Copies of this chain bind each other. A is one copy, B any other.
Amino acid sequence: MTETTPARHDFRLSIVCPDQHGIVARVAEAIAGTDGWITEAAQHTDAEAGWFFMRWVFALDPAREGELRDRLLHLGEDMRMDWVLADSRSRQRVVLMVSREGHCLSDLLARWNAGELPMDIPAILSNHTDHEPLARCYGIPFEHIPVPRDDRASAFAQLQERLDDLQPDTVVLARYMQILPPWMCERYPQRIINIHHSFLPSFSGARPYHQAHTRGVKLIGATSHYVTEELDAGPIIEQDVTRVRHDDSVQDMIRKGRDVERWVLARGLRYHLEGRVLTHGNKTVVFD
């Protein structure tokens, strides 16, 4: 599309609603009616669940955003839609949390620095101090919140206090290695992303590479998912695997697995930040 009006820029609209007749036509009409110009469109019907999902990107004169919102408001009520309209230039506030393993953190920071991830990072929180120099190198505030074994409750209260201040849109557990309390998970539905170092549902819980080594699997994987109360059981955003061989020790698996963790978290987070992930029940629709 050659942008004819310089004032226009991209907005994206995502909709989740019961499947019904005429959705596409009515939404397209609303966008056309405000002179929007559709550049990307993806939709999905879950026939079994009778549910409809869509994500459209279109160029719109921002002066007409209000008008479009009004139209969508009417439509949304009429068709029982959950909808989100976002200016594609807006950026989420994302708090990164990490323990000692820094490979996902340094990967996310390098990508963020290269402009691959549309987000602002108000803080990196950690229960250790290892990655403070890296945070400083990228000019991001680093906060150390220890989680002592015998007083996890107050540690998490302190953590929540900080999050209340930081007001993140999304929290990324970039190998945080601490299980968040259920009340915390509930507070950020579909807003906490974790990277688990196995191809779920295999090898959930602790030491997945050791479990994989013992079972003698030929591929190991990683999974990025939304955090729910149940450990490693939330909606899966992205997964990938890499090949291992009989001569790969647990240490080799850990090294190879780090690569998969990096890709899977970075891709999952990018999908999330670009509004490509819609959820229904415990499953995701990913318009990649």
Q: Decide if A217 touches B245 in the complex (CB within 8 Å).
A: no
For chain A residues 229-246, which have a beta carbon within 8 Å of chain B? Answer: 235-236, 238-241, 245-246
Contacts of A35 in B (CB 8 A): 21
A29 at the interface (CB under 8 A from B): yes
- A106 beta carbon closer than 8 Å to chain B: yes
Contact in complex: B241, A219 (CB < 8 Å): yes
CB distance from A186 to the nearest CB of B (A): 20
User: Which of chain B's residues have a CB closer than 8 A to the CB of A24?
Assistant: 24, 28, 31-32, 38, 41
Residues from 66 to 117 in A contacting B, C-beta threshold 8 Å:
102-103, 106-107, 110, 113-114, 116
Q: Which of B113, B246, B282 contacts A216 (CB 8 A)?
A: B282
Chain A interface, number of residues (Cβ within 8 angstroms)? 70
Interface residue A152 (Cβ < 8 Å from any Cβ of B): no
Q: Which B residues touch A133, using CB under 8 A?
A: 137
Name A238's closest neighbour in chain B (CB-CB).
B218
Bound-state CA distance A46–B249 (Å) is: 9
In the complex the two chains form, is B239's CB within 8 Å of A217's CB?
yes
Q: Which chain B residue lies CB-closest to A1? A: B47
Min CB–CB distance A248 → chain B (angstroms): 11
Task: Pick the residue among B25, B29, B134, B219 that contacts A199 (CB under 8 A).
Answer: B219
Bound together, the chains give a CA A240 to CA B44 distance in angstroms of 26
In whole angstroms, what is the CA distance A47 to B38 when docked? 11
* A255-B116 in contact (CB<8A): yes
- Smallest distance from the beta carbon of A46 to chain B beta carbons, Å? 8
Chain B residues with Cβ below 8 Å from A103 are 110, 114
Give residues 11-60 of A contacting B (CB, 8 Å).
19, 21-25, 28-29, 31-32, 35, 37-48, 50, 53
| Contact for A21 among B19, B32, B40, B240, CB less than 8 A | B32
Query: 8 new A-B pairs (CB below 8 Å) besides A41-B41, A216-B283, A245-B286?
Result: A24-B31, A40-B44, A46-B246, A107-B110, A116-B255, A199-B199, A200-B217, A218-B240
